[in-house]
């Protein structure tokens, strides 16, 4: 890695406790939820208030700012001096990936709240407790013509935040498994997949009335594409480390065969993180297909019975309880 990745190589030991790991996960989830909401809005959104895609937009819009703020709070409290976190906001080093990520977050976080206010504008105007937000909602509504530009900027920022966590880890030269250009892409895809899962969960819990099978299918297909793209990336990651030789090859071997790390990879990463979501998604899509086939057969039988009854009434024919066979 060159110097643009910052100065992490100066540290002899790297210790990032569990709040950092949760922050990295929540940041990717927030970026994924934003991307899901915008993609659904651009491709599947309907004008009706209770449209099936509206639930996914609302779920992503409310999930994104909450998760990123929760992650940032963990990051702040993990500092030895939490009250000095503002120094990151006023002292930028654009030769460091961490400073670039902070700059992206500095813009992304307020814009994610703005997007949530735009999505929930009508609800905000109805509740008295949120009356203090009405002037902001009214102000945002006056910029409705610039909504497309705003959404594109927010989507680009979500991409940057989702990849930033991977870039941050790839800057750590001490750990060969992290120090690879494939990691940012993996983090972006895993964050997108997590955003889809979170959007479905929040939608089912809080916006159940505006969901249907088509919305679930759309998101499951998106999730499958993301996960299936992660598998060859993992293969490329380990093959590249193996042929690089030295400590990289040893790290790859330990990640796959070590008594502890091997179980984490095969059970945690591959089993729980990739294979289980694929099985769940395929099962859900298959059950939906079977339900559609069953519904079609039921409709066909009902149509045949109704047609037979109708013909009997019109023609006065004695069908003797038989069913007219229709070419359906």
CA neighbor of 51 nearest in space, from 209, 220, 206: 209
Distance CA 61, CA 37 (A): 6
Secondary structure letter of residue 275 according to DSSP: I
State whether the Cα torsion 73-77-83-86 is positive or negative: negative
The span from the CA of 113 to the CA of 128, in Å, is 19
Q: What is the pTM of this model?
A: 0.77
The pLDDT score that the predictor gives to residue 213 is: 67
pLDDT in tens, the chain (328 residues): 444 444 444 444 556 778 888 998 999 999 999 999 998 888 765 554 444 457 888 899 999 999 999 998 888 887 767 667 667 667 777 777 778 888 889 999 999 999 998 888 878 877 778 777 888 887 887 787 888 899 999 999 999 999 988 888 887 777 777 778 888 899 999 999 999 989 988 988 888 776 766 777 878 888 888 888 988 888 888 888 888 888 888 888 888 888 888 888 888 888 888 888 888 888 877 765 454 444 334 444 544 444 444 334 434 434 344 333 333 3
User: What letter does residue 269 receive in the DSSP assignment?
Assistant: I
CATH top-level class of 3-256: mainly alpha
Residue 239: other Cβ atoms inside 10 A = 11
C-beta separation of 175 from 251 below 8 A: yes
Q: Which residues contact 33 (CB under 8 A, 6 or more apart)?
A: 59, 60, 63, 64, 67, 195, 198, 199
Q: Which pLDDT value is given to residue 13?
A: 52
Tokens, residue 109: 């976080």
Residue 66 is predicted with a pLDDT of 95
Closest by CA to 206, choosing from 31, 49, 68, 62, is 62
Distance CA 270, CA 227 (A): 11
* Spatial distance between the Cα atoms of 107 and 26, rounded to a whole number of angstroms: 17
pLDDT digits (tens, 9 = 90+) for 54-109: 788 889 999 999 999 999 888 888 776 766 766 766 777 777 777 888 888 999 99
Cα 112–81–107 angle (5° rounding)?
20
Q: What ranges do the domains of the chain cover? A: 3-256
């Amino acid at each position: 890695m060159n110097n643009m990745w910052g100065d992490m190589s100066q540290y002899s030991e790297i210790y990032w406790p569990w709040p950092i790991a949760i922050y990295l996960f929540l940041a990717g989830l927030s970026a994924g939820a934003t991307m899901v909401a915008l993609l659904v809005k651009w491709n599947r959104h309907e004008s009706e208030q209770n449209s099936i895609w509206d639930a996914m937009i609302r779920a992503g819009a409310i999930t994104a700012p909450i998760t990123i703020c929760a992650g940032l709070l963990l990051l702040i409290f993990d500092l030895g001096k939490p009250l000095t976190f503002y120094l990151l906001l006023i002292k930028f080093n654009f030769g460091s990936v961490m400073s670039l990520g902070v700059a992206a977050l500095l813009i992304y976080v307020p814009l994610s709240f703005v997007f949530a206010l735009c999505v929930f504008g009508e609800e905000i105007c109805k509740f008295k407790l949120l009356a203090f937000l009405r002037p902001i909602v009214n102000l945002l509504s006056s910029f409705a013509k610039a909504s497309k530009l705003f959404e594109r900027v927010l989507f680009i920022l979500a991409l940057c935040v989702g990849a930033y966590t991977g870039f941050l880890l790839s800057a750590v030269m001490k750990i060969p498994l992290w120090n690879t250009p494939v990691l940012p892409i993996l983090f972006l895809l895993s964050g997108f997949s997590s955003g889809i899962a979170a959007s479905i969960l929040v939608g089912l819990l809080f916006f159940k009335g505006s969901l249907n099978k088509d919305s679930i299918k759309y998101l499951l297909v998106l999730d499958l594409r993301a996960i299936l793209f992660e598998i060859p990336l993992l293969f490329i990651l380990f093959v590249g480390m193996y042929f690089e030789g030295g400590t990289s090859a040893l790290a790859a071997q330990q990640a796959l065969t070590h008594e502890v790390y091997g179980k984490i990879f095969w059970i945690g990463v591959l089993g729980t993180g990739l294979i289980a979501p694929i099985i769940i998604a395929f099962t859900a899509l298959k059950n939906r297909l079977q339900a559609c086939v069953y519904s079609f057969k039921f409709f066909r039988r009902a149509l045949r019975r109704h047609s037979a009854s109708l013909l009997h009434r019109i023609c006065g024919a004695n069908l003797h309880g038989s069913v007219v066979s229709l070419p359906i």
